[in-house]
Amino acid sequence: MGTPVIRIAFVGAGSVVFTRQLLHDILSYPELSDVAIALHDIDLERLEVAAALAAHTADSLGAAPTITASIDRRAALAGADVVVNMIAVGGHRATVTDFEVPGAAGLRQTIGDTLGVGGIFRALRTFPVLEALAADMAELCPDAWLLNYTNPMAMNIQYLAAVAPRLKVAGLCHSVHWTVRGLCEIVGVPQEEVDVVSAGVNHQAWILRWQHRGRDLYPALDAAITADPELARRVRVDMYRHLGYFPTESSEHSAEYLPWYLQHDDEIARLRIPVGEYLRISSDNLADYVALRDTIAAGGAPADGWESGAVEYAPQVIHSLATDTRRTIQVTTANTGLITNLPQGAAVEVPATLDRLGVHPHHVGALPVQLAAVNRRFLNVVELVVAAAVEGDPHHIRHAAMTDPATAAQLTVDRIWKLCDEMVAAHREALPEPLRRTPLAPRAL
């Protein structure tokens, strides 16, 4: 009897470029060339494009997967061994709202998908879909792993831990990989030869150890920054200089998780912070999709535009499940004493070992106290957003925005409440009914 074929469901497969990249990496493993792929999206046009790209990818690699596509999520999930989640609730239009409404209130954002007002409302419109997805998985594929790529990562993973504690879930993000790759290029060391330990919170973790053959590479980074002052004109380098450890997310992201940068015009100029950057990225992604769709509709073949290799984590997880190959990646998971000076139950990012049994997070211990202090401010926002959804309490939406570092640095508390009212109105149809309510006004004196 042969090895059972592994079944992978892609939820939000209409993120066609990313779906295609993941499928390319999955099907590049000989052991996974005959997997069953079930594509799902609520947008039929995007789903059809994703299916065409999947077939093209398989043909180009000489693989023979079974590929199905359905707008019925339950049909895609039935019998799955792995579920890859990539949904973007509201799509480009919701992203524009996440920037335009806060922007009119005087709030600067760069990416708006992880923290801040943009991240808060992205989470609140995503949670209902996640809860329904978890319920379907409990019924149709209870032993499957949910591999989540959807942002805001920490909020989504912490919410799932609250509403579906039996679900096997791991949050995946490539930020640590690309951070280490960039750092190694700066100091001239091959990435594959370095030893790295990173931990913290997704999009705000820290490179705790970075060594080449036992040699600490941070002094070499210091020398490179001294030799090239332009390197210091980035938020993450400024964070490193003041906190002592390099952060794992881009400067564009990092700027809006902190109270130190976006309210200062001179800091925006000094550190070259691209305010509103994700509006351009989202527009470019939409244009790329339209170009792909039109190429396929005209009978053309999409160009292959990436390198093969183990960069994305989901293909590595799936390969390890199928072959018992042991490897280490970064995951976001509930804190069960993994980082001892961050809150229990909070969504933290730590190293994890993969094998045929799944994802096994590592115990890291205590972060340096200054890093934990910064992470706790991040996690305060996460906790309040999750509480708003779980308790159905619209006050906690406002409390989350009030405690958000960058929002609190830029707006008065009354303006924050008014902005939240405006955002609720703008996203009303995507929010659970309890969170649509206008909360009681602040207590009168």
Q: What is the DSSP letter of 312?
A: S
Question: What is the amino acid identity at position 112?
Answer: G
Phi, psi of 57 (to 5 degrees): -60, -45
Q: Return left, alpha or beta for 282; rule: phi > 0 is left, psi -120 to 50 is alpha, else beta.
A: alpha
H/E stretch holding 208 reads strand 204-212
**Alpha-carbon span 90 to 430, nearest angstrom:** 8
CA distance 157 to 142: 17
Structure tokens at 263: 């309210």
Alpha helices (H) along 143-271: 153-163, 175-187, 218-227, 235-243, 251-255, 265-270
| Greatest alpha-carbon span in the chain | 76
Give me the phi and psi of 409, to 5 degrees please. -75, -20
Active site residue 212: no
111-146 in b/e form (b: 16+ CB < 10 A) is bbbbbbbbbbbbbbbbbebbbebbebbeebbeebbb
Tell me the H-state helices in 62-115.
Answer: 73-77, 91-104
Cis, bond preceding 152 (omega within 30 deg of 0): yes
Q: What share of the chain is helix, strand, coil (3-state, %, to 5)?
A: 50, 15, 35
Which residue out of 174, 212, 264, 395 is catalytically annotated?
A: 174
Q: Are 401 and 407 in contact (CB under 8 A)?
A: yes
Residues contacting residue 274 through CB under 8 Å, at least 6 positions apart? 110, 252
Full DSSP string of 355-421: ETTEEEEPP-BPPPHHHHHHHHHHHHHHHHHHHHHHHT-THHHHHHHHH-HHHHHHS-HHHHHHHHH
CA gap 23, 216 in Å, rounded? 37
Residues with active-site annotation: 174
